[in-house]
Amino acid sequence: MEIVPLKLRDYSQEEIPFFHDFAEKYSAEMPEVNCVFCYSETSQSSDPFAINGRSLSFNQLIWNRIGLTTEELEAMLAHEIGHAVDKLPRTDDNQPERENNADDFAISHFFGDSLCSALKKCILSGIYSDQEVEGMKMRISRIHFNNLNQRCDLLRGIHSEPKNKWLIAVNDHWDEILNTPLNAERIRILENLASQIIGIGHTTIEETLTWFDA
DSSP-derived secondary structure for 71-138: HHHHHHHHHHHHHHH--S---TTTHHHHHHHHHHHHHHTT-HHHHHHHHHHHHHHT-S-HHHHHHHHH
Specify the pTM.
0.67
In the predicted model, is pLDDT for residue 118 greater than 90?
yes
The per-residue pLDDT for 72 is 94
The per-residue pLDDT for 24 is 73
Confidence of residue 61 (pLDDT cuts 50, 70, 90): confident
Q: Pairing relation of β-strands 49-52 and 55-58?
A: antiparallel
Domain boundaries, the chain: 7-155, 158-214
Confidence of residue 12 (pLDDT cuts 50, 70, 90): very low
Mean pLDDT in residue range 127-148: 88
Q: For residue 109, how far is the Cα from the chain centroid?
A: 10
pLDDT digits (tens, 9 = 90+) for 143-201: 888 877 776 665 555 555 777 788 888 888 888 998 898 989 999 999 999 998 888 88
Mean pLDDT in residue range 45-59: 70
DSSP-derived secondary structure for 175-201: HHHHT---HHHHHHHHHHHHTTSTT--
User: What radius of gyration do the chain's Cα atoms show?
Assistant: 19
pLDDT digits (tens, 9 = 90+) for 19-49: 777 777 776 666 555 454 555 555 456 777 7
Least confident range from 73-77, 97-101, 126-130, 151-155: namely: 151-155
